[in-house]
Amino acid sequence: MSFYGPPREQLGEVTSGLHCVETVYERLGLTTFMHDNLVALMRNQSFVADSPFISALLANADGDRDLDKIWRLHTCCWAARSALSLAGDFVECGTYRGFYAGVIAQYLGFGALPRQFYLYDTFAGLPPEWSTERERTQVHAGYQWDGVYEDVVNRFSIYPNIRVVKGVVPEVFETVVPEQIAFLHLDMNAGAAETAALDHLLPRLSDGAMVLLDDFGRMEMSDLCRAHLDWWGRHGHVILELPTGQGLVIYRKGGN
Ligand SMILES: C[S@@+](CC[C@H](N)C(=O)[O-])C[C@H]1O[C@@H](n2cnc3c(N)ncnc32)[C@H](O)[C@@H]1O
């Protein structure tokens, strides 16, 4: 069970309440899902039977915090797989240690695909010019970047078609950017950086491109949520808010 948000003292109360619910459902032979700030009751969780997905998740996760994101990763792999029917490369803005990208790459057998996957990150945290102080405090408290760039380059060295690009989004697009994009994962935890990325990448999105916003639905990321609502609203799209905390847009030229 991984839950966050309420002060530490109250979290114990929350998890013991959830344990009671879990016990009752288990006794009745009914399923529960209580991870990553998501409580779902009586769901089939059919992705658990998808062996290639579970293998990719287990091979790439670094502990329970990563494993608890299983439903988000399922969404991510579904969107990435769906994008294979479109022309274009894959892009992730905000890669950190490469957990999501690692799962996607293994799940799809990316090394054998005739397309590129671009992984962008400063590998040094959120730049002040593209984030708010609140966003920086939220991320910088729980992450550290010493040696991460080298580790990520090493992690993806088995894939000839995955490019790890170090630099600030959006400026870095002036040096390396794909012509056409079928799958775009935005996970920089900063509304200004993510909407600036969209400003640059919009003309490159394929019709039907999968755009996944990792933090769109998270209450503590309300500034990022507003930034996306405003940006996508101006571009004629409504974002599907998922119970995982993600947002999904299937990009259509002319709006959805
Ligand atoms: C939440 S982490 C990404 C997690 C990652 N997707 C994973 O698989 O675990 C956010 C990352 O975005 C990066 N980032 C934030 N703003 C950025 C910007 N403007 N340009 C490039 N990278 C940025 C940070 O350095 C950080 O590593």
* CATH number, domain containing residue 177: 3.40.50.150
Asked, for residue 54, whether it belongs to a domain, the answer is yes
How much distance in Å is there from the Cα of 21 to the middle of ligand 1? 35
Domain of 5, in residue numbers: 1-43
Residue 133 has pLDDT above 80, yes or no: yes
Which residue, among 71, 92, 91, 69, has the nearest Cα to 187 in the 3D structure? 92
> Is 211 in the same domain as 84?
yes
Q: Which pLDDT band holds residue 50 (cuts at 50, 70, 90)?
A: very high
Q: Whole-angstrom Cα distance, residue 89 to residue 186?
A: 14
Asked, for residue 256, whether it belongs to a domain, the answer is no
The pick from 75, 91, 95 for probing ligand 1's pocket by mutation, whose C-beta has the most ligand atoms within 8 angstroms, reads 95
> Across the strands, what pairs with 177?
none
Query: Domains in the chain: how many in total?
Result: 2
Q: Which two tokens stand for residue 189?
A: 């935890």
How much distance in Å is there from the Cα of 18 to the middle of ligand 1? 31
Asked, for residue 255, whether it belongs to a domain, the answer is no
| Tens-place pLDDT, residues 98-116 | 999 999 999 999 999 999 9
| 137-151, 158-172, 204-218: segment of lowest average pLDDT | 137-151
Cβ(127) to ligand 1 under 6 A?
Answer: yes
Q: Is 50 helix (H, G, I), strand (E, B) or coil?
A: coil
Cβ(132) to ligand 1 under 6 A?
Answer: no
Amino acid, res. 39: V
